[in-house]
Structure 1
Amino acid sequence: MAVQVVMRITFLLLLTTYELAEAAAPVAKPNCSDSCGNIYIPYPFGKTTGCYMNDWFKIVCNETGGSPKAFLPSINMEVLEINITDPYNNHYFWIDPGLVRVNMPIVSSNCKNRSSRHTGGVNISGSPFFFSSNRDRFISVGCDNLALMTGINPMVVVGCKSNCIDKSMIEDSEHKHCSGFNCCMTTVPSGIKVFNASFIRGIKEEIKTSEECKFAFLADDKWLNSRPKDLSYYVQFLEYVPVVLEWTASEFTTMDPKELRRRNSEGYTTDYGAEYYYCLKGYQGNSYLSTGCQDINECESETLNKCPNKSDCVNIQGSYHCNKPKSPVKIAIIVICSSLGALFLFTITWCLYKIIKKRNKIKLKKKFFKRNGGLLLQQQLSSNDNNVQKTKLFNSKELENATDHFNKNRILGKGGQGTVYKGMLVDGRIVAIKKCNTVDKGNLEQFINEIIILSQINHRNVVKLLGWCLETEVPLLVYEFIPNGTLFQYIHEKNEEFPLITWDMRLRIATEIARALSYLHLAASLPIYHRDIKSSNILLDDKYRAKVADFGTSRSMTIDQTHVTTLVYGTFGYLDPEYFQTSQFTEKSDVYSFGVVLIELLTGEKPASLARSLEDRNLSTYFINSIKENRLFDILDTQVRTGGNKHEVMTIANLAKRCLHLNGKKRPTMTEIVMELEGVQNASPDQPNSEEFDYVRNEEMGPWNDILFYQDQV
């Protein structure tokens, strides 16, 4: 920290000297201060009325009690740094352009010797600021601590679970920072403006986790990497940690490209909608001000003029040279001779350019192939342990032509792991091409994992992988094209484009999904857990046959493995409560998610809906309560109630109920589910009365209050 202070003071001294010598273009409004201590305050920020754009950007400089400190009273946070500089030439600031670094309180629980005033989290809704998904991380500190971010989209579950380890082991081992022991870390969703945290009681009875002091907070990733000690020890001495906020210029400026060029600046837009403006190279100032960015005259600068004599520096068409001024005749002779030389060398230069460009393109493709895990993928697919089906390695030009250079009109859909485009190959086949959103380690591993898993699968009810391309900036996967959309659309978006599906179609689709999952769990070369079964991941082909898709989060298992321990991941409404409590995903977790899909087919209701009461917001709870209260026929979808055989409906309802049992061991296997569904399809129809549902209603279901507790936490 002391080194950082010295570096910042040195920079400020150099910057002050430079400004005095060069008479630099202003970064604040006229007659407005542009600093608070060592904090740089450019417009639209300011300290006094008329110096800032609006009250959101007002800075209060507290100069009492030692060194001055800057605060943003609009969001009640101390400011550590503000930056609006060139994103590609940022030599002086620790953070990126258009970002504000602030101090944010730590949320704690059950800490006796700690202040209790920071238990309510942070809410900056309505402001132009939001937490940076690229720079901020969610941290949970404590033994056997499952912490969740609250206040975000209720359909998204974000959190992590830290295991217990003796602190003396941390000092002597490689378990430093957030390795998962006493501390865990995960990424932050984009665009959030509300942060709070809840702590879930641990399940290990031998550890009194309720008596443990626990922490949760957001922190700047670069700050985390600079910490010298283990966070589980270090955080107990902290009350605030640095957090990066992004802010958008679109709310206070309407600068068009012509205005940007007049001000000698450029615009820069991130993936999350934040817009910044900065000065072009060779200019300085503030593009948000009417004065814009002003040209730097190197010849008049004592620091930038590198000529032996100041009089030797000349400006020729905006380019500065250390040459003595030439007469017009001499300049004409130089231009003519240079033109003849350039003409003579043009052909050779052009040929060399073509050769170098081709060579660089090949090198770039090799670089992308290696960075995207191509060597590892080749090794995995060539291994004798993998029963790999025949797939094709496409080149980038083929897929660019197939999608009209990834035209936005070809987009079929966007998901958490990528964007899917519709394309046509040279042989006339229609395909779906999946392109990753961003290139980071987490997304890359999901793409490689999906390739390896899908290359082992050959089943009529699983979407088929045709090939891949790794020589582009982001990996691309090529699938067979499934034309009729998702099961979610046919259940919940009933219109002319997605017609109603009958009870017989629903029963067949459920059977086909079950067959696919049974194959993944038992018949594949290695057991595969899908981990994200939901109606939006079930595609329907031209004959309305079900195809299970999206294996980006799936996991392969060895023969002797019964579960996989992971960070909590899933879609609200489909998430297995047992997996949520233990972080151990088993084949029965897929069974639970399949049970929710069965309920969707029966009721036509969404897995989570704010339109229902708080108690029945979760579809599983709503379904079980309806059975207990003998109201099952009241919640059935019209197509099921009018077109379904009562005995068949009762059987499927009972099957769905058993799939949703909170004890995973009491749920049926996918093989048993397939046998029951096929039995229903082949059985002769009977018409029992609705009283036969009593045996479904009266069977013990387990502690469903746990799910209600989970809803309240989210």
Structure 2
Amino acid sequence: MAFCSFLCGGKTSNRREHRKKSSMTWRVFSLKELHSATNNFNYDNKLGEGGFGSVYWGQLWDGSQIAVKRLRVWSNKAEMEFAVEVEILGRVRHKNLLALRGYCAEGQERLIVYDYMPNLSLLSHLHGHHLGECVLDWGRRMSIAIGSAEGIAYLHHHATPHIIHRDIKASNVLLDSDFQARVADFGFAKLIPDGATHVNTKVKGTLGYLAPEYAMFGKASESCDVYSFGILLLEVASGKKPIEKPSPTVKQAITDWALPLARERRFEEIADPRLNGKYEEAELKRVVLVALICAQSKPEKRPTMLEVVGLLKGESKEKLSSLENDEMFRPEPAMSCQGLSGPDDNSDSITEEKDSRVDLKQETNSLPEAAAHIS
């Protein structure tokens, strides 16, 4: 089977050695153990459901809480996504990446076990189940922005080999008990060989977050994640979705809305109204400018994620001043902002075969908890 050939067989000793060197703590779970933890995958334990299957809350014998992702239907495609996610999560360990607890592969059952995130996903707080609670004050939003950036920077610059996530979005940023960000869902991730600038691949991901060069030509690189992260930053600052519908017949990308306001230095109009004006003006401006520079159409002009982390932290006044004076932020009322926009489509998400995953409307209204544990 694809899973066994990918993770087992000749790679077993290598994997064990890698796990030993990296002090990894994940393990193989038995199906019986996960049945017991989730009360036989009881409906009352279901956190949500997506295109992949269902996610369940569970509790192990030692009292620790887990989230169990259970594939709905076995297939070669699902098997490969499962294997890729387990392999990549088994390689990495960072405070801002969702930790792998283990996996189970018995018969045609494929399950991945993660730490349970009690505050669910960023999506659920910005657009979903927890929208009305408004617990994301500005301090927490800045922490989430910086933490997410540090997690992605680790994938791009410190993991060996480097990793492209390919599906950075609000539902894939989970929040622990302290509202610290954990980037999740590595089913679409790609390993980048040393020396390679990009990989050519079929397009996967969610519309509204896709970099233009990736959506049109299938060129996946670290810069594609940077673009997606720029969209995510604008979401965090504004509370708006990546693609809004001002009217039934009109769609507007968040960048097309935010860039003219940034050029006119009207940052207060970009801030999420639910903040009630309670934010640091300098930090808001910094987040918006970094977001837009990340989400520009030309990949060669986007910063690296290491640079993004430094900019968000305000580590260099010179770099921030240079960013503010970038030509894209010069007032040009007659200039179209379409160069920032991603591709338009009647659906909100696409995979390799262009079939629908979980669209943004579903994520917002019916899958807050599922989104919190890998969409």
Task: Choose which of 446, 450, 461 in structure 1 pairs with 2:96.
Answer: 461
Matched, 1:710 2:343: yes
Residue among 383, 397, 402 paired with 2:14: 383
Q: Deviations over 1:23-49 (max 9, x none)?
A: xxxxxxxxxxxxxxxxxxxxxxxxxxx
Higher relative contact order (CA 8 A, sep 6+): 2
Separation of aligned partners in 2, 1:431 and 1:640: 32
Superposed CA RMSD: 2.9
Give the aligned residue type for 1:521. Answer: H
- Whole-angstrom CA distance in 2 between matches of 1:587 and 1:548: 15
Question: In the TM superposition, what is the alpha-carbon distance from 1:658 to its structure 2 partner?
Answer: 0.5
Amino acid at match of 2:14: S
Counterpart secondary structure, 1:505: helix
SS of the equivalent of 1:387 reads helix
What residue number does 2:357 align with?
none
Deviations along 1:206-256, one digit per CA (max 9) or x if unpaired, are xxxxxxxxxxxxxxxxxxxxxxxxxxxxxxxxxxxxxxxxxxxxxxxxxxx
Counterpart residue identity of residue 377, structure 1:
L
CA distance in 2, matches of 1:386, 1:649: 45
CA distance in structure 2 between the partners assigned to 1:709 and 1:648 by the alignment:
26
Query: What does residue 360 of structure 2 align with?
Result: none
The answer to whether the aligner puts 1:490 opposite 2:125 as a matched pair is yes
Q: How far 1:557 moved relative to its partner? A: 1.5
CA 476–526 in structure 1, closer or farther in 2 if over 3 Å, else same: same
2:173 and 2:184 in contact (8 A); partners too: yes
CA distance in 2, matches of 1:713, 1:704: 21
User: Of 698, 703, 711, which aligns to 2:330?
Assistant: 698
Contact 1:654–1:696 at 8 Å: present in 2 too?
Answer: no
Paired residue for 2:301, among 646, 651, 666?
666
2-structure distance, mates of 1:400, 1:527: 35
Q: Is the Cα contact below 8 Å between 2:255 and 2:341 reproduced in 1?
A: no
Q: Does 1:400 align with 2:31?
A: no
User: Match of 1:374, as an amino acid?
Assistant: C
Q: 1:584 deviation in Å?
A: 0.5
Aligned counterparts of 1:522 and 1:659: Cα–Cα separation in 2? 17
* Aligned residue number for residue 229 of structure 1: none
Q: In the TM superposition, what whole-angstrom CA distance separates every residue of 1:572-601 from its partner, at most 9, and x where no partner exists? A: 111111211221011010001100110011
Q: Does the 8 Å contact 1:391/1:455 carry over to 2?
A: yes
Structure 1 residues 476 and 713, CA, compared in 2 at 3 Å: closer, same or farther?
closer
- In structure 2, what residue type is equivalent to 1:526? P
- Residues 246-285 of structure 1 aligned to structure 2 (within 5 Å): none
Residue 252 of structure 2 aligns to a residue in which SS? coil
1:532 is paired with a residue of what secondary structure?
coil
Equivalent pair of 2:161/2:191 in contact (CA under 8 Å): yes
Residue 506 of structure 1: aligned partner: 141
Counterpart Cα distance in 2 of 1:437 and 1:534: 23
Aligned equivalent of 1:443: 78
Distance apart, 1:569 and its partner CA: 1.5
Q: How many residues align?
A: 335
Match for 1:581 among 185, 210, 216? 216
1:501–1:639 contact (8 Å) kept in structure 2: no
After superposition, the C-alpha distances for 1:5-38 in whole angstroms (9 at most, x for unaligned) are xxxxxxxxxxxxxxxxxxxxxxxxxxxxxxxxxx
Q: Map of 1:579-658 to 2, 5 A cutoff?
A: 579-611=214-246, 617-628=252-263, 631-640=266-275, 642-658=277-293
TM-superposed deviation, 1:711: 2.1
Give the distance between the partners of 2:17 and 2:159, measured in 1 at CA.
10
What's the % identity of the aligned pairs? 33
Q: Which amino acid aligns with 1:569?
A: K
Q: Structure 1 residues 387, 525: CA separation in 2 closer, same or farther (over 3 Å shift)? A: farther
Distance 1:563 1:696, change over 3 A: closer
User: Aligned residue for 1:425?
Assistant: 60
Give matches, 1:52-451, under 5 Å.
371=1, 373-378=3-8, 379-383=10-14, 387-388=18-19, 389-451=24-86
Deviations along 1:659-678, one digit per CA (max 9) or x if unpaired, are: 01111110000000111112
Deviation at 1:693, TM superposition (A): 9.3
Residue aligning to 1:361: none
1:452 counterpart letter in structure 2: E
Structure 1 length-normalised TM = 0.44
